[in-house]
């Protein structure tokens, strides 16, 4: 098994992530988070919110509706350009992204360029292709009971537009000084043709995005500050090893239609280097489009000088699932006698596991319960485990990344101590209960 398969298997076995709708034979490109996955995911999302919003004076939160007026996606360019170049094999009717079958190709590949590349169908090996067709990746639905063009709506393909469309509301209600940022966490949907690589390329994902509004002449300085902040967050708050993160300056022909500069932060995932997050300078593209489409002013008026202008925007954007998998794959370790998730303490689903040495000795159970209640009131993320023998419990807690296992034994009953086992070193020390 590859390392990614090992991680997928651990996630299923220990209740982090299950294949979506598994009871009905699954639903491609969807995944469900189980009890431990939810805990880890929330800890990651809260760490992000704490770092970027709560601890700063220049960031504010919004939480916009997922279904937005479809004019949003016309103004943003998604209706016209959020599309993949698809080819179909006339033999087996398999559909593929043309740009993924030709080495070095971009999304703007033409049918001629594709045919010249002499590609064989990955499924049946034949070479009989359709023209390239653009396939829009937005999920379409209808609002209300009438299914006609007038009532078309989309599940949002990015959270960013929910921020831009609230720019005016926020400026007019809390009067923030420039530069300032609006942050949002929430689901976004993409009708991926070929979902793959576990949660890396799925059809719905949770995004964490900031739109940071700046003076046009300040964008380079602010871009550099946000870039440094991303490294600080990923390495010092989330605990990803710096050497597994690589910056990729995205060349102009590969950048999204709105961006003047983009750096992709790449990560060494088990199956190779993949995008972890993006940092993009979106200029005034979005606010100016909204201003034109809505007829409402998106200008910011400087309180000191009275000068009015449409702010420019820098956008750090990160997918929760991508970050989740980066955390798991850098924490996952197979050792001779065990599998261990070396999760940072602030992200681990549980900080402590408490158990009695033996579960059939009421005096041990009673004392262990006391210790459990004490730790729970102090640290919240504490679990109880009296299943199997102590070795099995350690094995399980190692696999779910619990940093410390606390055990109440007979010696402890006499002198008010417990043993504390460290996940990473497996060493045990005896500690007074009041010193936990
Ligand atoms: Zn084929």
Determine, yes or no, domain membership for 169. yes
| Residue predicted with more confidence, 86 or 313 | 313
Going from the Cα of 332 to the center of ligand 1, the distance in angstroms, rounded, reads: 38
Read off the pLDDT of residues 249-269 as tens digits, 9 standing for 90 and up. Answer: 998 887 877 788 999 999 999
Return d(Cα 133, Cα 373) in angstroms, integer: 61
Going from the Cα of 119 to the center of ligand 1, the distance in angstroms, rounded, reads: 11
Going from the Cα of 5 to the center of ligand 1, the distance in angstroms, rounded, reads: 27
Residues 360, 431 within the same domain = yes
Going from the Cα of 111 to the center of ligand 1, the distance in angstroms, rounded, reads: 17
Going from the Cα of 376 to the center of ligand 1, the distance in angstroms, rounded, reads: 57
Going from the Cα of 133 to the center of ligand 1, the distance in angstroms, rounded, reads: 17
Determine, yes or no, domain membership for 345. no
Residue 1 has pLDDT above 90, yes or no: no
Return d(Cα 343, Cα 331) in angstroms, integer: 5
Determine, yes or no, domain membership for 188. yes
Which residues make up the environment of ion ligand 1, defined by Cβ < 5 Å?
Answer: 89, 91-92, 94, 121, 123-124
Going from the Cα of 104 to the center of ligand 1, the distance in angstroms, rounded, reads: 22
Residues 109, 215 within the same domain = no
User: Total domain count for the chain?
Assistant: 3
Q: At 2, is the pLDDT very low, low, confident or very high (cuts 50, 70, 90)?
A: confident
Q: Domain range spanning residue 397?
A: 350-435
What is residue 149's predicted lDDT score, i.e. its pLDDT? 83
What is residue 29's predicted lDDT score, i.e. its pLDDT? 86
What is residue 106's predicted lDDT score, i.e. its pLDDT? 83
3-class secondary structure per residue, the chain: CCHHHHHHHHHHHCCCEEECCHHHCCCCCCEEECHHHHHHHHHHHHHHHHHHHHCCCCEEECCCCCECCCHHHHHCCHHHHCEEEEEEECCCCCEEEHHHHCCCCCCCCCHHHHHHCCCCCCCCCCCCECCCEEEECCCEEECCCCCCHHHEEEECCCCHHHHHCCHHHHHHHHCCCCCEEEEEEEEEECCCCCCECHHHECCEEEEEEEEEEECHHHHHHHHHHHHHHHHHHHHHHCCCCHHHEEEEECCHHHCCCCCCEEEEEEEEECCEEEEEEEEEEEECHHHHHHHHHHCCCCCEECCCCCCEECCEEEEEEEEHHHHHHHHHHHHEEECCCCEEECCCCCCCCCCEEEEECCCCCHHHHHHHHHHHHHHHHHHCCEEECCCCCHHHHHHHHHHHCCCEEEEECHHHHHHCEEEEEECCCCCEEEEEHHHC
Going from the Cα of 93 to the center of ligand 1, the distance in angstroms, rounded, reads: 6
Q: What are phi and psi of 406, to 5 degrees?
A: -105, 125
Going from the Cα of 174 to the center of ligand 1, the distance in angstroms, rounded, reads: 57
Question: pTM of this prediction?
Answer: 0.89
Going from the Cα of 204 to the center of ligand 1, the distance in angstroms, rounded, reads: 28
Here the CATH number for the domain that contains residue 222 is: 3.30.930.10
Determine, yes or no, domain membership for 339. no
Residues 15, 67 within the same domain = yes
Residues 208, 305 within the same domain = yes
Residue 317: beta bridge partners? 209, 278
Going from the Cα of 125 to the center of ligand 1, the distance in angstroms, rounded, reads: 6
- Rg of the Cα atoms in the chain: 26
Going from the Cα of 107 to the center of ligand 1, the distance in angstroms, rounded, reads: 21
Residues 50, 114 within the same domain = no
Return d(Cα 123, Cα 94) in angstroms, integer: 7
Read off the pLDDT of residues 179-213 as tens digits, 9 standing for 90 and up. Answer: 999 999 999 999 887 777 888 888 999 999 999 99
What is residue 260's predicted lDDT score, i.e. its pLDDT? 87
Residues 397, 424 within the same domain = yes
What is residue 157's predicted lDDT score, i.e. its pLDDT? 94
Going from the Cα of 91 to the center of ligand 1, the distance in angstroms, rounded, reads: 5
Determine, yes or no, domain membership for 275. yes
Determine, yes or no, domain membership for 338. no
Residue 23 has pLDDT above 80, yes or no: yes
Going from the Cα of 95 to the center of ligand 1, the distance in angstroms, rounded, reads: 8
What is residue 347's predicted lDDT score, i.e. its pLDDT? 97
Going from the Cα of 121 to the center of ligand 1, the distance in angstroms, rounded, reads: 5
Going from the Cα of 102 to the center of ligand 1, the distance in angstroms, rounded, reads: 16
CB 355 within 8 A of CB 386: yes
Q: What are phi and psi of 138, to 5 degrees?
A: -80, 140
Going from the Cα of 269 to the center of ligand 1, the distance in angstroms, rounded, reads: 30
Going from the Cα of 176 to the center of ligand 1, the distance in angstroms, rounded, reads: 56
Residue 82 has pLDDT above 80, yes or no: no
Smallest CA-to-CA distance from 68 within 158, 135, 181, 155 is with 155
Q: 3-13 and 320-331 helices cross at what angle (nearest 10)? A: 100
Residues 207, 316 within the same domain = yes
Compute CA 430 distance to the chain's CA centroid, rounded to the nearest angstrom: 39
Going from the Cα of 129 to the center of ligand 1, the distance in angstroms, rounded, reads: 9
Residues 113, 262 within the same domain = no
What is residue 296's predicted lDDT score, i.e. its pLDDT? 96
Residues 305, 383 within the same domain = no
CB 122 within 8 A of CB 87: no
Read off the pLDDT of residues 36-73 as tens digits, 9 standing for 90 and up. Answer: 999 999 999 999 999 999 999 999 999 999 999 999 99
Here the CATH number for the domain that contains residue 357 is: 3.40.50.800
Tell me the percentage of the chain whose pLDDT exceeds 70. 100
Residues 9, 100 within the same domain = no
Going from the Cα of 120 to the center of ligand 1, the distance in angstroms, rounded, reads: 8
Choosing from 332, 363, 389, the residue where a domain stops is 332
Q: At 362, is the pLDDT very low, low, confident or very high (cuts 50, 70, 90)?
A: very high
CB 182 within 8 A of CB 171: no
Q: Per the omega criterion (within 30 degrees of 0), is the bond before 179 cis?
A: yes
Going from the Cα of 352 to the center of ligand 1, the distance in angstroms, rounded, reads: 53
Residue 217 has pLDDT above 90, yes or no: yes
Smallest CA-to-CA distance from 163 within 68, 82, 278 is with 68
Determine, yes or no, domain membership for 9. yes
Lowest mean pLDDT across 120-129, 172-181, 227-236: 120-129
Return d(Cα 318, Cα 143) in angstroms, integer: 29
Return d(Cα 274, Cα 402) in angstroms, integer: 28
Q: State the CB neighbour count (10 A cutoff) for residue 152.
A: 14
Going from the Cα of 198 to the center of ligand 1, the distance in angstroms, rounded, reads: 24
Determine, yes or no, domain membership for 340. no
Smallest CA-to-CA distance from 152 within 68, 66, 81, 63 is with 68
Going from the Cα of 97 to the center of ligand 1, the distance in angstroms, rounded, reads: 13
Choosing from 302, 332, 362, the residue where a domain stops is 332
| Residue predicted with more confidence, 149 or 424 | 424
Residues 118, 223 within the same domain = no
Residues 227, 375 within the same domain = no
Q: At 105, is the pLDDT very low, low, confident or very high (cuts 50, 70, 90)?
A: confident
Residue 81 has pLDDT above 80, yes or no: no
Choosing from 136, 160, 175, the residue where a domain stops is 136
């Amino acid at each position: 098994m590859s390392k990614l398969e090992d991680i997928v298997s651990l996630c299923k076995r220990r209740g982090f992530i299950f294949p979506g709708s598994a009871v009905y034979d699954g639903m491609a490109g969807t995944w469900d988070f189980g009890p431990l996955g939810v805990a880890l995911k929330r800890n990651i999302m809260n760490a992000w919110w704490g770092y970027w919003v709560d601890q700063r004076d220049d960031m504010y939160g919004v939480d916009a509706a997922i279904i937005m007026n479809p004019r949003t996606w016309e103004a943003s360019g998604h209706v016209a350009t959020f599309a993949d170049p698809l080819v179909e094999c006339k033999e087996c009717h398999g559909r593929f992204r043309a740009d993924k079958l030709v080495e070095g190709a971009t999304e703007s590949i033409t049918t001629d360029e594709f045919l010249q590349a002499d590609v064989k169908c990955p499924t049946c090996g034949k070479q009989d292709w359709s023209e390239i067709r653009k396939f829009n990746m937005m999920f379409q639905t209808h609002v209300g009971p009438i299914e006609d063009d007038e009532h078309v709506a989309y599940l949002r393909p990015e959270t960013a537009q929910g921020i831009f469309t609230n720019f005016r509301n926020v400026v007019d209600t809390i009067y923030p000084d420039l530069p300032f940022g609006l942050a949002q966490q929430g689901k976004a949907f993409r009708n991926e043709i070929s979902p793959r690589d576990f949660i890396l390329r799925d059809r719905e994902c949770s995004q964490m995005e900031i739109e940071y509004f700046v003076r046009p002449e300040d964008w380079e300085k602010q871009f550099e500050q946000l870039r440094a902040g991303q490294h600080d967050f990923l390495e010092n708050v989330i605990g990803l090893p710096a050497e597994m993160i690589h910056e990729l300056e995205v060349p102009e022909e590969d950048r999204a239609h709105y961006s003047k500069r983009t750096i992709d932060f790449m990560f060494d995932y088990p199956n190779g280097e993949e995008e972890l997050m993006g940092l993009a300078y979106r200029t005034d593209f979005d606010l100016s489009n909204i201003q034109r489409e809505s007829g409402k002013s998106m200008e910011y008026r400087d309180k000191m000088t009275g000068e009015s202008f449409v702010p420019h925007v820098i956008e750090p954007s990160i997918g929760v699932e991508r970050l989740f998998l980066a955390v798991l794959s850098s924490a996952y370790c197979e050792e001779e006698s065990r599998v261990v998730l070396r999760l940072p303490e602030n992200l681990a689903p549980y900080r402590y596991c408490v158990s009695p040495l033996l579960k059939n000795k009421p005096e041990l159970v009673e004392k262990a319960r006391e210790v459990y209640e004490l730790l729970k009131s102090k640290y919240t993320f504490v679990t109880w485990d009296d299943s199997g023998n102590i070795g099995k419990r350690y094995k399980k807690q190692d696999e779910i990344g619990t940093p410390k296992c606390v055990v109440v034994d007979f010696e402890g009953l006499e002198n008010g101590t417990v043993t504390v086992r460290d996940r990473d070193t497996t060493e045990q020390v005896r500690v007074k209960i009041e010193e936990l």
